[in-house]
Amino acid sequence: MKNMVLCGLLALANGLTAAAQQAPAKAKPKAKSAVTISKSAAPNWSRTYATGIRPEELRQHLTVVASDAFQGREAGQPGQKLAAEYLVKQFAELGLQGPVTGSDNPYLQHFQLTRGNYEGGGYLKVNGQRYEWLSDFFSYGPMPSPFRAETVTQPIFVGFGVEQGPYSDYAGLDVKGKDVVAIMGAPQDERGRNLLKPYGRKADYWDSGLRKAALAKAKGARSIFLMTFAPTAEFQKQAVQFADPLHEPAFSLPDPGPEIIDTVREDLPPGIGVYLTSQELGLQLAGTTLPGLMEYVRTLGQAGGPVKAGFQPPAVTIHLPQAQEQLTTENVLGFLEGSDKKEEVLVISAHYDHLGVKHDTIYNGADDDGSGTVAVLALAKAFSQAKKDGHGPRRSILFATMTAEEEGLFGSEYYTAHPVFPLANTIADLNIDMVGRTDRKHSPKKRFVCVVGSDKLSSELHRINEAANRDYTKLELDYHFNIPNEPEHIYYRSDHYNFARRKIPVIFYTTGEHADYHKATDDVEKIEFDKLAERAQLVFHTAWELVNREGRIVVDSNKP
């Protein structure tokens, strides 16, 4: 599961603008009506083939996938290539087809990543004053720099940098290829009430800097500088706190495919620089003073909408040196063709990459996401055996083990932008990420799995999964990650989200974070294989119904 260096940055940005948010109460999605999994006449084939998902085989695969020999499976590195070879071999032995055309190996979907490392000495000059990187401004997490060479630019002030219906801070502005300056927070009227209240969301929706960044990217901007209201001394204390993670390598996807305007994803918008500034630097970039900015905000509140600012940003010089290199990495895909409804495809996914080697220490990622990867292999074996026995699925199944999830969900982003099978024919994605352990919230005796996203696009999908659990596995289904505005943003942190943002129904199966999450101690001996097998069997039963039912599931929801 993708790490969120940004969690702290989000808290910083929202805290600096006094936009305190309270976590909503836990809520379980309500089923509109009972659903019973359709069962064939005896024998029950779903039950028959689910029993083939056994703890000992999961252990056998994971002992290889999460071994030191695979060097932590970091995207683009030798260990990831070895893991890909292993997965290709397993898919081929099961009789799955390699569906990738034009590749040197039909099981491998190759693509390019750009990896960058900041070299130090970054700065910004404005009005004769020099401001230092990681002191007066810093980025939202590791990201590629658009200012690797010294660059002179004329920023554009875009107010709060928000847009809803007739309200647009970008109206009449051409920001394509430009750098914009925005105020953190949301516009308010004279009584302090937010002017924008997007339907179904909290009034402080636009307080998130990343949502502003996603909108700026959609408008074509090269970068966005977000002005906080933190005095320089306070801002510099926070910069010291985030210095180490901000020196981690930054990754981007050079070929992300067609643009999708997405102002929801709690993640780095690729292809745009996103920077927080101290109050002093922010005012300099906007070309105003604090009284001048407050007068602008007051006038906007009186008008109840955007107004023209009475100040002009000056030219600035920016240099954020960064060494970059191109890496090749691969999604590994295995295809099982269906029978009478074979044009429709169910995706069952997990990411097989992890963090690699850091400071001579191997991060094996047995749970993250070795557990999901071996679950996909077990599911592929069970469905393949059913087909060999003459009981294969009506719809086709794509078993997709994704790469570069840890770097930014790039494997699934590339696949959904360059799908092997049309997305219009893709009925759902069942994504498995970290299902081999018990998190801090549950007793070790609990038989549970966290279910995320099942009702967000299809109420039918949600009810099918609940029925599969009721009729077969009888686990505790935990929905605490599924509530709107969930503070850990789990819905946005694994590969299913790139399907969901393209309106393909998803379920994300996980057991959440534990003490070894993203540590070198996430090893095979800590995996609870009996529980892993049960959770994989739930995915199997849900998948069995999806691929064998008469009608394709509906897309009838749009929940945050």
- Cα gap 15→12, rounded to integer Å: 5
pLDDT at 24: 36
The overall pTM is greater than 0.85: no
Domains, in order of start, for the chain: 53-115+325-548 (3.40.630.10), 120-320 (3.50.30.30)
Spell out the per-residue pLDDT of the chain, length 560, in tens: 877 554 445 445 544 443 323 333 344 554 444 555 555 456 899 999 999 999 999 999 999 999 999 999 999 999 999 999 999 999 999 999 999 999 999 999 999 999 988 888 999 999 999 999 999 999 877 778 899 999 999 999 999 999 888 899 999 999 999 999 999 988 988 888 888 765 444 444 445 687 888 889 889 999 999 999 888 899 999 888 888 888 888 888 888 777 665 544 444 455 688 999 999 999 999 999 999 999 999 999 999 999 999 999 999 999 999 999 999 999 999 999 999 999 999 999 999 999 999 999 999 999 999 999 999 999 999 999 999 999 999 999 999 999 999 998 999 999 999 999 999 999 999 999 999 999 989 999 999 999 999 999 999 999 999 999 999 999 999 999 999 878 788 998 999 999 999 999 999 999 999 999 999 999 999 999 999 999 999 999 999 999 999 999 999 988 87
Please report where in the chains the tokens 């909408």 appear, as a residue. 305
DSSP 275-302: EEE-HHHHHHHHT--HHHHHHHHHHHHH
- Cα gap 311→141, rounded to integer Å: 30
- Note whether 167 and 195 are within 8 A (CB): yes
Q: Which residues contact 363 (CB under 8 A, 6 or more apart)?
A: 72, 354, 355, 356, 357, 518, 519, 520, 522
Give the sheet arrangement for strand 223-227, strand by strand: 137-139, 273-277, 223-227, 179-183, 156-157
Which of 162, 153, 205, 154 is closest to 183 using CA atoms? Answer: 162
Antiparallel, parallel or unpaired: β 322-336 and 108-118: antiparallel
Q: How far apart are the first and last CA of the chain?
A: 20
Q: At what angle do helices 55-65 and 78-93 cross, to 10 degrees?
A: 150
Q: What is the 3-state secondary structure (H, E, C) of 123-155?
A: EEEECCEEEEECCCEEECCCCCCCCCCCEEECC
- Note whether 125 and 151 are within 8 A (CB): no
Instruction: Kindly state the tokens that stand for 99.
Output: 């569906």
- Cα gap 248→143, rounded to integer Å: 9
- Note whether 118 and 217 are within 8 A (CB): no
pLDDT at 196: 79
Q: Which residues contact 40 (CB under 8 A, 6 or more apart)?
A: none
- Cα gap 102→89, rounded to integer Å: 19
Whole-angstrom Cα Rg for the chain = 24
Residues forming beta bridges with residue 349, ordered by sequence position? 400, 431
Give the sheet arrangement for strand 426-432, strand by strand: 250-252, 108-118, 322-336, 395-402, 341-351, 426-432, 506-510, 448-452, 476-478
DSSP 348-405: EEEE----EEETTEEE--IIIIIIHHHHHHHHHHHHHHHHHTT---SEEEEEEEES-S
